[in-house]
Amino acid sequence: RNYKIAVIPGDGIGTEVLAAGIDVLHALARNGDFAISPQQLPWSSDQYLHLGHYIPDGGLERLKTFDAIFFGAVGSEKVPDHVSLWGLRLPICQGFDQYANVRPARVLPGVTSPLTNGKDIDWVVIRENSEGEYAGNGGRVHRGLPIEVATETSVFTRRGVERIHRFSFELARKRPRKHLTLVTKSNAQRHGMVMWDEIFYEVAKEYPDVTTRRELVDAMTTRMVLKPATIDVMVATNLHADILSDLAAALSGSLGIAPTANLNPEREFPSMFEPIHGSAFDIAGKGIANPIATFWTAAMMLEHLGEAKAAARLMKAIETVTAAKVHTPDLGGTATTKQVTQAVIAAL
Ligand code: NAI
Ligand code: MG
């Protein structure tokens, strides 16, 4: 098959790592039995500064015609972060109902975790990606006055919560340990979070083969650091899982290796695949961004497209390279983006 891939490099190191990702996908396709047709979409902060928009008129309609979306990062020092995020990434996630954000974390061979028991990390963080704290609900009144008030209202729907729980149980069921941790804050947040807990245990009845644990989000951070072996899959809200997955990435060695998939599990719309890191102003343009997160992301995209064999080949090549200590500076090495990319292509 020939897959039509929409490529949105975005800003900063997003452009550097996605170029590397496309090179690796082409190399994989050369000695595999599939092809990819990437199409670059220049939707970025630079474009926004020139034209006043990230996604052009009809942009989402156009995106619908692709098999998958490969995304870099969005964020610029010249545009407020809430403008860039809401201008590009969130309209795609929300417009295409990519409600399941999947973030695997484990310590790749040759990579050092800040934890002494880092080897025990083999997790999947599942983030509710369509509602909750990032529903965009709220407002500000009396701007700048002493009586100014801002509200930021989380929105949780039974439909939204039930489907993310069901997705998480399905995913947990497919893993060897079949264990799922529900992460909420239902002691302090007594409406939406209590509903999360209730619906979780309703859905759990359909999955007697999956063992469960309930953890408050603050306690979960300590469990991740102190008892990593007790965690397999975790499911949490948009905000909580956003934070926990950055922690998971850091504990598994670097933000520069962590991948993510924004899935529309019903496949009504294309899903979007991206490294979890941002545009990294501090290293942009230096050619030293770690492309491993993007390669791992590409493997998740191939898996989603039904190319499991190619995905496994790519993961193996990635692990060969990390094990050989071809590491960028974030992992303590001196390799450039290009050198890591060449090494992965050679390993393929
Ligand atoms: P960031 O992820 O861009 O960078 C955090 C730190 O990690 C920096 O020190 C950076 O150098 C390092 N880092 C990140 N990716 C790396 C890689 N591949 N290789 C080596 N080092 C890497 O997060 P930050 O600094 O908070 O945000 C920068 C911009 O990115 C902001 O505008 C922010 O809004 C945006 N952002 C966008 C995201 C997205 O598009 N999904 C996600 C996170 C942030
Ligand atoms: Mg984040």
DSSP secondary structure string for all residues of 260-281: EEEE-TT-SS-EEEEESS---T
What is the model's pLDDT at position 251? Answer: 96
What is the model's pLDDT at position 31? Answer: 78
pTM of the predicted structure, to 2 decimals: 0.95
- pLDDT digits over 218-236, tens only? 999 999 999 999 999 999 9
Confidence of residue 132 (pLDDT cuts 50, 70, 90): very high
What is the model's pLDDT at position 189? Answer: 93
Residue 282 alpha carbon, nearest atom of ligand 1: 11
Closest CA to 278 of 55, 74, 21: 74
Residue nearest to atom 10 of ligand 1 (CA): 280
Q: CB atoms < 10 A from the CB of 273, how many?
A: 28
Q: Which of 24-33, 145-154, 205-214 has the lowest mean pLDDT?
A: 24-33
Confidence of residue 32 (pLDDT cuts 50, 70, 90): confident
Confidence of residue 179 (pLDDT cuts 50, 70, 90): very high
256 Cβ inside 6 Å of ligand 1: yes
Residues with CB under 5 A from ligand 2 (ion): 242
Ligand nearest to the CA of 81: 1
Confidence of residue 33 (pLDDT cuts 50, 70, 90): confident
Ligand nearest to the CA of 238: 2
Q: Give, for ligand 1, the residue of 279, 292, 296 to mutate: max count of ligand atoms closer than 8 Å to Cβ.
A: 279
- pLDDT digits over 86-128, tens only? 999 999 999 999 999 999 999 999 999 999 999 999 999 999 9
Q: Are 152 and 184 in contact (CB under 8 A)?
A: no
* Residues facing residue 10 across a β-bridge: 73
When the pLDDT of each residue in the chain is averaged and rounded to a whole number, the result is: 96
Q: Are 60 and 93 in contact (CB under 8 A)?
A: no
340 Cβ inside 6 Å of ligand 1: no
Q: Are 210 and 177 in contact (CB under 8 A)?
A: no
Q: Are 241 and 125 in contact (CB under 8 A)?
A: yes
Domains along the sequence of the chain with CATH: 1-99+255-348 (3.40.718.10), 113-252 (3.40.718.10)
Residue range 45-57: mean pLDDT, rounded: 96
Residue nearest to atom 33 of ligand 1 (CA): 75
Q: Which two tokens stand for residue 104?
A: 């695997």
What is the model's pLDDT at position 265? Answer: 97
182 Cβ inside 6 Å of ligand 1: no
Distance 52 CA to ligand 1 centre (A): 23
Residues 6+ apart with CB under 8 A from 64: 96, 269, 270
259 Cβ inside 6 Å of ligand 1: no
